[in-house]
Chain A
Amino acid sequence: EADIYQTPRYLVIGTGKKITLECSQTMGHDKMYWYQQDPGMELHLIHYSYGVNSTEKGDLSSESTVSRIRTEHFPLTLESARPSHTSQYLCASSGGQGVIETQYFGPGTRLLVL
């Protein structure tokens, strides 16, 4: 079944640790996105990718980095986590034929940095 996966779903970690949030999709989509969402707030785009070896910063500045070595995989890394990074991170993908692309979302990762 085509889907988009995120791991871990929940992560509690101490300040200064390096973390990687995983995102994988089996839909063959070219475009992938990372959003940051604080409770009760809108989604803010922090990274996106057109395809393999393509990454761009989003509308909201973020200290995280991303990579796109394989079409299906779009991990997000924080080199040194801080309490200000506490948030929910949502991964999405879009692609296929047609002008209007629909974004499909993963279940999200809730990050708590102590």
Chain B
Amino acid sequence: AQSVTQLGSHVSVSEGALVLLRCNYSSSVPPYLFWYVQYPNQGLQLLLKYTSAATLVKGINGFEAEFKKSETSFHLTKPSAHMSDAAEYFCAVSDRSNTGKLIFGQGTTLQVKP
């Protein structure tokens, strides 16, 4: 069965600093992996997804993530944090069945300090 672990429920960075949000997965088959962002009082918005085409995936708003099979990781990064990046971030893995179901991690709250 698939599972996702996000290390660190809260991450705080200064504006302009590197953002690193960690995600490790467990999957018995090659996974499809997703990062979503949730701003206060809103639904989830897709940042990027890994579909086995390339290990480094670029997403919206300057975010990218690298799939590392040997580490079973899919960490999210952004070179320079902006105040508008403050939000909740969720990593998810697809169960690759025809249901399209996703298994979500517990989320990481990103705080950006001025």
Q: Which residues of A contact B (CB under 8 A)?
A: 4, 6, 9, 31, 33, 40-43, 45, 48, 50, 56, 58, 90, 92, 94-95, 100-108, 110
- With a cutoff of 8 Å between Cβ atoms, the chain A residues found around residue B99 in the complex are 31, 48, 50, 56
With A40-B107, A100-B94 known as contacts, the answer to whether A94 contacts B44 (CB < 8 A) is: no
A103 touches B43 (CB 8 A): no
B49 touches A100 (CB 8 A): yes
A31 touches B107 (CB 8 A): no
- With a cutoff of 8 Å between Cβ atoms, the chain A residues found around residue B63 in the complex are none
- With a cutoff of 8 Å between Cβ atoms, the chain A residues found around residue B67 in the complex are none
B106 touches A41 (CB 8 A): yes
Question: How far is A35 from B107 in the complex, measured between Cα atoms in Å?
Answer: 15
Other A-B contacts than A31-B99, A50-B99, A105-B43, 10 sampled, CB-CB below 8 A, are A6-B43, A31-B100, A42-B90, A56-B99, A92-B43, A94-B100, A95-B100, A100-B32, A105-B44, A105-B45
- With a cutoff of 8 Å between Cβ atoms, the chain A residues found around residue B51 in the complex are 100
A43 touches B34 (CB 8 A): no
A108 touches B107 (CB 8 A): no
- For the complex formed, measure the closest distance between the CB of B9 and the CB atoms of chain A, giving whole angstroms: 8
B49 touches A106 (CB 8 A): no
- With a cutoff of 8 Å between Cβ atoms, the chain A residues found around residue B44 in the complex are 43, 90, 92, 103, 105
